[in-house]
Amino acid sequence: MVFSASTYENFVSERSSSQTRLFAPYLGSRDDFDLIIIGSGFGGGVLADDLAERIGRQKRILVLEAGSYLYPTHIYNVCRFPNANVAKNFACKTFSQEGNEGSEDYIHERPQLNFGGRSIWWSGLIPHIQPWELQFFPDRVRQDLENGLLDKAGASMNESISMGTIAQGITERFQRSPLAEDFIITQTPRALHQPYLNPNGTPREAYFTEPTGVFNTAELLINQVGLSPGVSQGDGPGLFLLLNKFVESVDQINDGHLKYRVNSTDTIDGKPRSFRAKTVILCGGSIESPKLLQRSPIYNNLAPAVKSMVGNGLTDHPTTSELTSFISHMGDLSIPRHAHAKIILYSKGNKGPNKEIRYPFNVEININHEYWHLRENDPSEPGAHNVDGDSRIDFKFSFGNPVYGGNHMDLSAANYVPNMQFRNLSRASHLADSRFPALAGWHKSVDEIWAVLNDVSFKVCSQFLLNGRPARPAGEAWFGTGGKGFGIGTVHHAACSLRMPFRWTYDREFEPDSVVDEDLQVRGMDGLYVCDMSVMPFSSAANPVRTLAALGLRLSERLAARV
């Protein structure tokens, strides 16, 4: 079989003049490279950019991307349409599944395959994984993440500072509340450039630097490759980029210092093209990278224990539906309709009397509901400045989740669209019986879980006032009633399908086998690495993008020293 543009339903395959006149593809005749990176999303894009800065003047680095150039930046840097709505128009059917949202097995959404990957569609949230969650990571990785790497990742993505004085006032009042005994409370970090602010949130004295908007890897790679024809696209060192190249397989070779051959199909003209490299890094994501590894000849050289884990254990974090309340004040702080705030309550991982984690979740709070809309690109539009009525608060709970071995992709069939089996995360009984005991030692009934969530919800709402009285959920819609429960898992944060050393539960030892080691190298395959969500040993309560960026920076440092 050979991949074509019609293999994945809704896949976009095109080569536009706007792309080739902005940045040129690799035009050289040589097929040998020091490193080949397969994928241009969060994993591949961050890795390629950092490697180019470290060794790009001495080494040859090639990025292969199956998708096309759609946008040169994040969708919010282009228009004000909700990111999720636009992303659905580019969602590709890369797997099949039986059932529907009400079935016992079901995963929601579809991945986007394009230049920049998910980074041109995402929410922009970069919350910080917490120490209790990092206990699911092997020691060397955990220590590196704790010792400044997560902060470095945030800085590399232009981490936001503040949404203003009201947001800061809300945060400070939460920090003085009883909730602070169990939660670290901050403004929600976003990968949103705020060059006008000092680190303490006060305005800078000079406003020369313009904000770049939401972080994305499309811009990183365009800037590295340079304006067409501009930089050399020939046979010397540098970072090179080829789009519309679907990688069919990776072979081992013995050609001097070159160890691997990467075989691709052009998605536009169908022509094959192969490249050779000393080092290859799979960065196609939690669904594509396992598929590529399994259909490659190198799969046959993996140890049986490693083979059995390829594509197994795809895991997402459970999140609840949102509760809504209407508010006017927080103590003496007025919260008008035009105010905005994003607050996150990170669990401290405090233990209960039976050594269970009391609150194995974060609470994400948004004031006035415009979750990700970041630009007023049409100030004259009616309704753009709606400031009437009470302020609105929406909040939800996001749990961590250890690897769930019951989820898997059927990679045995020789096709590109395997069947997916993924346990529906909206089933509270499954979470109560399986996931929460593994995560935190919770042995609670579904009703007891609702009671914990409703207790914290009451404490959150009670910090706010409406007409002089403590706020309550709109319509008295508490968890366990009125359809308020857990949401369906999605592909966008799903991880663990080519995982590093991991533990099944919070209180067990690490398993002896994994697909990649602590350096993200595939077991038994010198020079073959993975750098995407699939390497995670755990699906964190926090959006995993910051953690993946940190792992990309870590791998870049190691590869630069090695090559």
Q: What average pLDDT score do residues 50-68 get?
A: 98
Q: What is the DSSP letter of 169?
A: H
Q: Does position 138 have pLDDT exceeding 70, yes or no?
A: yes
Closest CA to 252 of 59, 526, 37, 60: 526
pLDDT band of residue 228 (cuts 50, 70, 90) is confident
Tokens linked to 127: 């919350």
Rounded Cα distance, 438 and 440, in Å: 6
Q: Does position 434 have pLDDT exceeding 90, yes or no?
A: yes
The answer to whether residues 322 and 396 touch, using CB atoms and an 8 Å cutoff, is yes
Name the burial class of residue 207, with classes exposed (0-12), middle (13-18) and buried (19+) by CB atoms within 10 angstroms of its CB: exposed
Q: Does position 537 have pLDDT exceeding 70, yes or no?
A: yes
Please report, for residues 239, 297, 379, the alpha-carbon distance to residue 37 in angstroms, rounded to integers and kept in the order given. Answer: 10, 18, 42
Rounded Cα distance, 122 and 105, in Å: 25
Rounded Cα distance, 272 and 281, in Å: 20
Rounded Cα distance, 93 and 149, in Å: 35
Phi, psi of 194 (to 5 degrees): -130, 70
- In this prediction, residue 386 carries a pLDDT of 62
Q: Does position 388 have pLDDT exceeding 70, yes or no?
A: yes
CATH class of 1-90+110-158+217-311+495-563: alpha beta
Q: Does position 424 have pLDDT exceeding 90, yes or no?
A: yes
Domain ranges of the chain: 1-90+110-158+217-311+495-563, 163-211+317-375+385-489
- In this prediction, residue 230 carries a pLDDT of 60
Q: Does position 548 have pLDDT exceeding 80, yes or no?
A: yes
Rounded Cα distance, 368 and 16, in Å: 39
Closest CA to 186 of 202, 199, 204, 167: 167
Rounded Cα distance, 408 and 161, in Å: 39
- Residue 466, strand partner residues: 469
Q: Does position 383 have pLDDT exceeding 90, yes or no?
A: no
pLDDT tens digit sequence for 478-522? 999 999 999 999 999 999 999 999 999 999 999 999 999 999 999
Question: What radius of gyration, in Å, describes the C-alpha atoms of the chain?
Answer: 24
pLDDT band of residue 385 (cuts 50, 70, 90) is low
Name the burial class of residue 186, with classes exposed (0-12), middle (13-18) and buried (19+) by CB atoms within 10 angstroms of its CB: middle
pLDDT band of residue 132 (cuts 50, 70, 90) is very high
pLDDT band of residue 372 (cuts 50, 70, 90) is low
Q: What average pLDDT score do residues 453-475 get?
A: 98
Residue 549, SS3? helix
- In this prediction, residue 374 carries a pLDDT of 61
Q: How many CB atoms lie within 10 A of CB 438?
A: 19
Q: Does position 461 have pLDDT exceeding 90, yes or no?
A: yes
Q: What is the DSSP letter of 47?
A: H
Query: Percentage of the chain with pLDDT > 70?
Result: 97
- In this prediction, residue 526 carries a pLDDT of 98
Residue 548, SS3? helix
Closest CA to 216 of 120, 131, 353: 120
The whole-chain average pLDDT of the chain stands at: 96
- In this prediction, residue 126 carries a pLDDT of 98
- In this prediction, residue 276 carries a pLDDT of 99
pLDDT band of residue 380 (cuts 50, 70, 90) is confident
Rounded Cα distance, 67 and 8, in Å: 11
- In this prediction, residue 552 carries a pLDDT of 99
pTM above 0.95, yes or no: yes
pLDDT tens digit sequence for 23-47? 989 999 999 999 999 999 999 999 9
Q: Does position 384 have pLDDT exceeding 60, yes or no?
A: no
- Residue 36, strand partner residues: 62, 280
Q: What is the DSSP letter of 276?
A: E
Q: Does position 103 have pLDDT exceeding 80, yes or no?
A: yes
Tokens linked to 100: 């529907």
